[in-house]
Chain A
Amino acid sequence: MDALYELITGSDLGFWWKQLLLAVLIGAVGVIVFSVALVYAALMTYLERRVSGRVQSRVGPNRVGPLGLLQWLADGAKMILKEDVIPAAADRPLFRLAPYPVVIGVFAAFASVPFGEWLIAADLNVGLLYLLAITSLVVVGILMAGWASNNKWSLFGGIRSAAQIVSYEVPTALAILVVVLMAGSLSTQDIIREQGGWPWDWYVFRQPFAFAAFFLYFTAALAEGNRTPFDLPEAESELVAGYNTEYSGMRFGGFYLGEFGNVYLMCAIATLVFFGGWQIPGVSPAEHHGSWLWQIVGFGLFFVKAWAASFVVVWLRWTLPRLRVDQLMSLCYRYLVPLSFVCLLGTAVLMMLVPAGSLFDSLLRFGTFGFGLLVAAIFFWRVLWHIRHVGDRIDLKILARGVRGRFDPAIQHRAYGAFRKQQKQPEESR
């Protein structure tokens, strides 16, 4: 992007020609990034459905394309072809307008989210502030949708959602500020450059407060994206579908894409702020900058990290039950906000007391890294323990064996056969 900008401004064209070319450049990049973001949001829906299927011991979409990978195209076509019903009692202009702020709030944020070292539309020096600011547009759209529908479920959903998103913005911003404090910059690319490729160079493991800030950020971001366990605005068992109850067709599609785009966005921000973004272990940013190979590897790393985080988000959806609405608000103001203040001030104190590069600094870094490893090890040990103790669920047991050995459909198929056979046998012969 910068190179193209230099090329155009450095050329000997007239002033207005340059402006026109720049506008065309912005438009073209916008359309490309929007399409990529749209595909990412659509793939997010695919991931969600496949992982949900696996978690619930079913298959999930597998008919359209190999492994159901083209399901999102079919869904998109369906949404465009469906009737756009606007209830007679609704406020029509507001109802029609409501999806726009949601889509703009999510997809305009992609301007400042990097995909790789070269692949960023606009490396703003206020990048993170821009991300925080533009994503809060979503609230406006949700409130508009909730009010305009003239439906009680929509109204409840919209108001709950507004209260929730607005409240959780405070801990999200404060947790990100912890890293801004350490990096001394708001630019997304600068924050990534300040980190390193190795896990102990990432900001999560720099010091204990940053480690805590990551969890604060992730919790608050889940709530901001209306994801389970904080999906009260769309709690289907009490509010039908929340603010988008009355929406259908492509207008519903706008909310849907906005929501799933937001999940990727939140994971991408977590990746770039806490997990080293596109940094490759052992390759300095200077080496990274000039080489095509490293660019591709960096893109791949960012992709893998962001999608791994998205996987965790989907996983959490089927693991944790939904909170009550009063628990939700007290969680935010009684725990997350004071804790993020502690993290912010603690980081400032540590930065003043512990000079960068000193012995104590490395001790803190490797201590936090070790602690992180310990937490992960205990976590996986517990998961395996639970899988070993599921009793009759042979399919899960074989899956656990497959994690260690090879993971192929044939094993699962045979496991399913064994499972069915066991189901058919009478109780006493087992």
Chain B
Amino acid sequence: MAFGLATAFGFVLVSGGMLLALLVIGRFVRIRRPVESKLSTYECGEKPFGSAWFNFNNRFYVIALVFVIFDVEVALVVPVAVVFRRLVESGVAWLAFAEMFFFLAVLLVALAYVWARGDLSWIRALTAGECREVEVGAPEGAP
């Protein structure tokens, strides 16, 4: 087993090293003629307009948080899934199933909550608490 994991780690090193080797070989054979216009950022032929490192409205920010929960959950279900067949053969599977069911049910409730809150929609109506009160006075000259 340790040898298997060592092999996997070796593969990580080898695949990184092979890409490095290809790039290093390329360094000696490829042309290198940097021109100012060639090095400018591509923006469909226009002159680049400012930097791209700005605040970005990431719609699915909440989903990223939900994902973390779900991924941890998958990782925790894996051991149960592996031993489940042996438990079925020994006849105590219902206990494992009940545990797994409650565990998944809690997460499904979380999914339902996020769904009902509207975080799964592209356009979401803000609730009263999330809205900032804006004073809208009557337009001038109105009766």
A contact residues vs B (CB 8 Å cutoff): 1, 5, 22-23, 26-27, 29-31, 33-34, 38, 79-90, 99-100, 103-104, 106-108, 110-112, 121-125, 129-130, 134, 147, 149-155, 159, 163, 166-167, 169-170, 173-174, 177, 180-186, 240, 245-246, 249-251, 253-254, 325-326, 329-330, 333-334, 337-338, 341, 344-345, 348-349, 351-352
List of 9 A-B pairs having minimum Cβ-Cβ separation, nearest first:
A184-B85, A30-B14, A326-B122, A26-B10, A107-B15, A122-B7, A122-B4, A111-B11, A88-B39
Q: Which residues of A contact B100 (CB under 8 A)?
A: 345, 348
Contact, CB under 8 Å: A334 / B29? no
B76 to chain A minimum Cβ distance, whole angstroms, is 11
Within 8 A of A (CB), among B1-22: 1, 3-8, 10-16, 18-20, 22
Docked Cα-Cα span, A250 to B114, in Å, equals 43
* With A122-B4, A182-B85, A338-B111: A89-B42 Cβ-Cβ less than 8 Å: no
- Chain B's nearest CB lies how many Å from the CB of A134? 8
Asked if A240 and B97 make an inter-chain contact with CB atoms under 8 angstroms apart, the answer reads no
The contact sample of 16 A-B pairs, CB cut-off 8 A, is A29-B10, A30-B7, A99-B19, A100-B19, A122-B5, A124-B5, A124-B8, A149-B41, A152-B43, A167-B63, A170-B71, A184-B84, A184-B85, A333-B66, A338-B111, A345-B101
* Contact B70–A121 (Cβ < 8 Å): no
Q: How far is the CA of A153 from the CA of B63 in the complex (A)?
A: 22
Chain B residues at the A interface, C-beta cutoff of 8 Å:
1, 3-8, 10-16, 18-20, 22-23, 25-26, 29-34, 36, 38-44, 48, 51-53, 56, 58-60, 63-64, 66-67, 70-71, 74, 77-78, 81-86, 88, 93-94, 97, 100-101, 104, 108, 111, 114-115, 120-122
Q: Is the CB of A150 within 8 A of B41?
A: yes
**Given that A124-B4, A170-B71, A333-B115 are contacting pairs, would A87 and B63 also be in contact in the complex, using a CB cutoff of 8 Å?**
no
Is there an interface contact between A185 and B64, defined as CB atoms closer than 8 Å? no
Contact A121 B97 (CB under 8 A): no
**Which of B38, B82, B97 interacts with A185 by CB under 8 Å?**
B82
Contact indicator B32/A352 (Cβ below 8 Å): no
Chain B residues with CB under 8 A of A341: 104, 108
Alpha-carbon separation in the docked complex, A23 to B3 (Å): 10
